[in-house]
Amino acid sequence: MNLKSITLTHAAKVVDGTVQLTGSKSESNRALIIQALSHHAVQIENLSEAADTVTMRASLAQVEGAKGDQHITVDIGPAGTAMRFLTSYLNLIQGSFTLTGTARMQQRPIGILVDALHTIGASISYEKQDGYPPLHIKGGFDQQTTSISIQGDISSQYISSLLLIAASLKQGLTLNILGELTSRPYVTMTLDMLKEVGIQHTWEGNSIHIAPQSYKEATIYVEPDWSAASYWYAVVALSKQGHIALPGLKKSSLQGDIAIIDIMAHFGVESTFENDGLHLRKTDIQRTDQLIDFKECPDLAQTIVAIAAGLKRNISFTGVKTLMIKETDRIAALRTEISKFGAELLEDGEVYHLKTEKVEAPEQVTFDTYEDHRMAMAFAPLALIFNKVTINEPMVVEKSYPLYWEHLQAQGFKIED
């Protein structure tokens, strides 16, 4: 299916059902790198069906099946996690590689990670513009140092990328984080998953140290995706009456997006963990507005802004610096799309203020997605409060949640192309 647009409606505005989410993309992509580095001593269960994970798996298989003397081009398309993780991983493999992606991927910076890898002796060069893919990587290098310093307020995927290969370096690695660490839960996730397969670390102050060590035989079970769960929080919040069950989600999650539980309490969604998983219920109880900090859960920002705008709830938020270098400039995209029904997004330094006094409910509104899966999934639930919502380029959801439209249909949304 390759649709240019779809139009969503929901006649009843009431939802009550169960949704089985795919495995976490974040956990899955880390698990695949760990499995490759362990020479398949580590097995994986409940791997994500997301396009990014499919791409990662295929890229690793391509590299593993190649002969050492041939040059290989690894094209990861729009898969940002694959770009960051493979930039480090390929340096450990004997061979010559070009690592590339879509036109947008070639506009997303990678220089901070490449500079860090240069410090330890990696042979990486830029094939077009300095600081950006495509990269030429000559794998198999002599380690020059055991210590790297890297800014903490950049994408946490740079840091996770280095941590994932640390135990496989002959001298191990000490990573010194400069300044405040953004998206700390994703770094913690990486370290916890490594620990699960026998890779120990120490974290003292701003320094993380991983010694050279071997992986143990183990199986990683990938928890369902909390980022995907956030869209069902939106569905419940925007409904007249709502209950959704999400099997398999755990109270003790490695995923930073579990922060959605506390944030959505502000919008009248109650979260309870029962024997079969997480249950979401719409209530009349809403918390007082406060400043929302997305520093440790930036992937939730689009969903929350769309919900608040639709419900005419003024909010202020911060911690979204990294959103400008994602699939699109997500702040600019949000500002444009919410303006289509009267909401405004005002900037005050690092704090943004959502103003909803001019919000109206149009008969029909069309949202663009900017090649960004999260834009599509954040705005689609607005069909519960607007009569018709059209989503352009809807298949971008395949990047992280390929069954999203089918799941919406199962919960009463009517979808027409």
The per-residue b/e assignment along 278-293, b for 16 or more CB within 10 angstroms, e otherwise, is bbbbbeeeeeeeeebe
Question: Could you confirm whether 299 is annotated as catalytic?
Answer: yes
Q: Where are the alpha helices (DSSP H) in 90-154?
A: 111-119
How far is the first Cα of the chain from the last one, in angstroms, to the nearest whole number?
11
Sequence-ordered strand ranges (E) for 305-392? 315-318, 344-348, 351-355, 364-367, 388-392
The whole-angstrom separation of Cα 300 and Cα 257 is 7
Phi and psi (nearest 5°) for 372?
-125, 115
Phi and psi (nearest 5°) for 136?
-105, 120
Phi and psi (nearest 5°) for 332?
-60, -40
The whole-angstrom separation of Cα 99 and Cα 392 is 29
Contact of 41 with 217, CB cutoff 8 Å: yes
What letter represents residue 224's amino acid? P
Choose, from 299, 348, 372, 417, the residue flagged as catalytic: 299
Residues identified as active-site: 299
